[in-house]
């Protein structure tokens, strides 16, 4: 064996890196196979690229009946017919989790439930006013000063995203914080992808294929029905509903 071959054989065949890919959650409230397939097909036709080519988590945390029996093999078949490939479930009971593992799905822990009222506390003793807190660090910002072309994806991890050029149809912007587009927004913009419901989207001309904040989204057909189409707008969440307002 040559020295080069020895050197190559000493090197590891892989390395592990912690990275992030935004996860789309499909929250099940019920599972009636026929109705589920019809509704899923409608969504897939409305936004054909929203679920495709991205990992999907089936969330069971909002099931109307927490003990609902779910045939996960049938559910996966329905999803795959629409080109959708779930990789995991979130939450569910022990029966759900065992069945999901049986068809190759991962099981993610449920989000922490909202706790009830805090116990009453005795009044705190009077103390002197504390010193003024140090100013919080500014939010990180990712700046893009060139056009974002079709097929490009830009993700601002832990930051706001500012684009000072046009965003073409077929392009995708993702940010953990806000998204600002100082030009036409013709692609997809997903803000607050880690669940930040305070995130907003700002753009000079709304012509988007899809906009989303913390998983709540509207597609082009919905947006064109409003008076904000091709206008300067800001998009935000109010009571789990996307709201558009002129700037």
pLDDT in tens, 38-78: 998 888 777 666 666 667 889 999 899 999 999 999 999 99
Q: Into how many domains does the chain fold?
A: 2
Residues 69 and 157 in one domain: no
Whether 11 is in a domain gets the answer no
pLDDT 10s digits, 82-141: 888 899 999 999 999 999 999 999 998 876 554 444 444 444 444 444 444 444 455 789
Position 121 scores a pLDDT of: 41
Whether 130 is in a domain gets the answer no
Whether 178 is in a domain gets the answer yes
Task: Compute the mean pLDDT over every residue in the chain, rounded to the nearest whole number.
Answer: 83
Q: Which domain holds residue 227?
A: 140-246
Q: What gap in Å lies between CA 108 and CA 55, rounded to an integer?
A: 13
We report the CATH number of the domain holding residue 101 as 3.30.70.260
Q: What gap in Å lies between CA 176 and CA 199, rounded to an integer?
A: 8
Q: Which two tokens stand for residue 113?
A: 């439930």
Q: Which residues contact 187 (CB under 8 A, 6 or more apart)?
A: 148, 150, 167, 168, 169, 170, 171, 172, 173, 208, 209
We report the CATH number of the domain holding residue 149 as 2.160.20.70
The pLDDT of 162-184, averaged and rounded, is 95
Q: What gap in Å lies between CA 156 and CA 159, rounded to an integer?
A: 5
Whether 3 is in a domain gets the answer no
Whether 207 is in a domain gets the answer yes
Residues 69 and 158 in one domain: no
């Amino acid at each position: 064996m040559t020295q080069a071959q020895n050197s190559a054989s000493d090197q590891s065949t892989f390395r592990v890196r912690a990275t992030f890919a935004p996860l789309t959650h499909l929250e099940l409230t019920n599972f009636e196979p026929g109705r589920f397939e019809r509704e899923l097909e409608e969504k897939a036709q409305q936004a054909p690229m929203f679920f495709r080519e991205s990992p999907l988590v089936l969330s069971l945390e909002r099931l109307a009946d927490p003990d609902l029996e779910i045939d996960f093999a049938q559910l996966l078949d329905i999803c795959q017919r629409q080109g959708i490939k779930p990789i995991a479930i979130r939450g569910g009971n022990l029966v759900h989790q065992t069945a999901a593992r049986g068809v190759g799905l991962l099981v993610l822990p449920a989000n922490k439930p909202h706790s009830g009222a805090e116990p009453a506390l005795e009044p705190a003793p009077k103390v002197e006013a504390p010193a003024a807190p140090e100013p919080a660090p500014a939010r990180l910002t990712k700046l893009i000063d060139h056009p974002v072309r079709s097929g490009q994806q830009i993700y601002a991890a832990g930051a706001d995203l500012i684009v000072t050029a046009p965003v073409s149809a077929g392009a995708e912007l993702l940010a953990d914080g806000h998204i600002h587009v100082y030009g036409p927004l013709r692609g997809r913009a997903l803000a607050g992808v880690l669940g930040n419901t305070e995130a907003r989207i700002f753009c000079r001309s709304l012509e988007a294929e899809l906009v989303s904040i913390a998983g709540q989204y509207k597609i082009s057909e919905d947006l064109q029905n409003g008076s904000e189409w091709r206008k300067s707008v800001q998009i935000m969440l109010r009571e789990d509903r996307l709201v558009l307002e002129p700037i």
